[in-house]
Amino acid sequence: MLPVKSIQRIAIVAGEASGDILGAGLISELKKKYPNAVFEGVAGPLMQQEGCASLYPMESLSVMGILPILKKLPELLKMRADLARYWIDTKPDLFIGIDAPEFNIGLEQKLKNKGIKTVHYVSPSVWAWRPKRIHKIKKAVDLMLCLFPFEQDIYQHHAIDNFCVGHPLADEVPIESHKNDARVELGLVHNKQLVCLMPGSRGSEMKMLGPDFIDMAVLLRQFYPDMGFVVPMANSKRRAQFEQQLLDAKVKHLTLPQIELIDGDSRKAMAAADYVVMASGTATLEAMLIKRPTVVAYKVGPISYKIFKRLLTIDTFAIPNLLSKQSLLPELIQEDCTPDNLFAEVRAWVGDDEHNQGQRWQDVHDAFVELHHSLKKDANVYAANSIEHWWSENGIRQQRSLEHD
């Protein structure tokens, strides 16, 4: 039997910062297995540092909500058509779509139809909403790399090759994150309660949640005069947006609590905090791994939510709650996400510490530790190994089929 063809050229598309992290780790490990391979596609700064040529800026795909997507739809469709045409003409050995399912699944289907092998890294939430998408995924994806164990069932059921690779964040974050060390590194005050506010890395998220988080901070400071607040900024655009929201809030409140903005370092900011209030998303997994009492907020435009709600098959968004199948963290969704309700949920965490010796938090913390261990698989290596194993097995199957014919 002839040796299986090695992978020489990989097309890859990531749609946002979390995908850039996953892509960079995967590229780093794939280069060890295929040292002559070249990578190109849509890449963030971390992937580019690993040698991936970016044909379009990754920011082009970072859109959330029905209306923002509709506004950019012509641009996104043209980009996808151009990429499909280019790769169908130049025939990479493999395409890897990292998350961004609305963009990548359609692209994968076009490429797979032309004989290009496709991998999708990060399962779309078919278990959460629009479950019939699994039929489109089956037509588009040769191999699915899942981050969480519970996601594999649906792919097994529909005979789609898959591996659960764990999550790179579970490998990076220590089992216990030390609060005082993080505060020293960030230059934050040691002897006060600190709340980390994370209103989102997307402009649309911050637009919806930033004002509510600021109003909540005003209420908390009135109740806890020594409480401090830190807000990590994803980039300069989000900083400018949040600074404007603070200026707008000053008109309404006259005085605001001291809210310290820092550039990046969201993980360190969470580790430094006693409590976290954050937009729902991948960051809720990070809060779980860092193990801080957290309140999760989710709010989009009313039209977007009305459409999403009809498509949902779950009533929870936070990753720790989905993993544990329990309400470990409070979630305030859409109309329930108000400054008063956010304030009440933070107070409940503080009250647990003050009045119940932190028993509620201890139970949640223990669950977080167990979940952390279950996801700690050396995901970058596992993902690269999974692709190598699947590529070899697929090549052997093809050779046997040819010999049989």
The enclosing domain of 188 has a CATH number of: 3.40.50.2000
Does residue 357 sit in the same domain as residue 393? Answer: no
Which has the closest alpha carbon to 199: 337, 316, 306, 335?
337
Does residue 184 sit in the same domain as residue 144? Answer: no
**To 5 degrees, how large is the angle CA 213–CA 216–CA 220?**
135
Per-residue pLDDT tens for 161-172? Answer: 999 999 988 998
Does residue 24 sit in the same domain as residue 110? Answer: yes
Any domain includes 21 = yes
CA pair distance 70, 63, nearest whole angstrom: 10
Q: What is the pLDDT of residue 311?
A: 60
CA pair distance 11, 122, nearest whole angstrom: 16
> Residue 56 in 3-state DSSP?
strand
Return the top range by mean pLDDT from 63-67, 119-123, 318-322: 119-123
Does residue 142 sit in the same domain as residue 194? Answer: no
**Residue 85 — pLDDT band, cuts 50, 70, 90?**
very high
Which has the closest alpha carbon to 65: 279, 278, 285, 283?
279
CA pair distance 373, 170, nearest whole angstrom: 8
Mean pLDDT, residues 128-151 taken together: 90
Does residue 335 sit in the same domain as residue 395? Answer: no
Does residue 337 sit in the same domain as residue 384? Answer: no
Question: Which residues touch 363 (CB under 8 Å, ≥6 apart)?
Answer: none
Any domain includes 246 = yes
Does residue 371 sit in the same domain as residue 383? Answer: no
152 DSSP 8-state letter: H
Per-residue pLDDT tens for 254-313? Answer: 789 989 999 989 999 999 999 999 999 888 999 999 999 999 999 887 787 776 676 665
Any domain includes 202 = yes
Does residue 252 sit in the same domain as residue 344? Answer: yes
Does residue 333 sit in the same domain as residue 221? Answer: yes
Q: What is the pLDDT of residue 301?
A: 77
pTM to 2 decimals? 0.77
**Residue 156 — pLDDT band, cuts 50, 70, 90?**
very high
Any domain includes 3 = no
Any domain includes 322 = yes
Question: Which residues touch 274 (CB under 8 Å, ≥6 apart)?
Answer: 179, 193, 194, 195, 292, 293
Any domain includes 2 = no
CA 148 remoteness from chain centre:
12
Does residue 257 sit in the same domain as residue 293? Answer: yes
Per-residue pLDDT tens for 179-231? Answer: 999 999 999 877 789 999 999 988 889 999 999 999 999 999 999 999 999 99
Q: What is the share, in percent, of the chain residues with pLDDT greater than 90? A: 68
Which one has a higher pLDDT value, 257 or 357?
257
Does residue 191 sit in the same domain as residue 131? Answer: no
365's tokens: 């913390």
Mean pLDDT, residues 380-393 taken together: 95
CA pair distance 320, 372, nearest whole angstrom: 10
Any domain includes 18 = yes
Any domain includes 4 = no
**Residue 150 — pLDDT band, cuts 50, 70, 90?**
confident
Per-residue pLDDT tens for 9-47? Answer: 999 999 888 899 999 999 999 999 999 999 999 999 999
Does residue 34 sit in the same domain as residue 128? Answer: yes
Residues spanned by the domain of 88:
9-166+378-404
**Number of independent structural domains in the chain:** 2
Question: Which residues touch 259 (CB under 8 Å, ≥6 apart)?
Answer: 197, 214, 217, 229, 230, 231, 246
Burial of 45 (0-12, 13-18, 19+ CB in 10 A): exposed
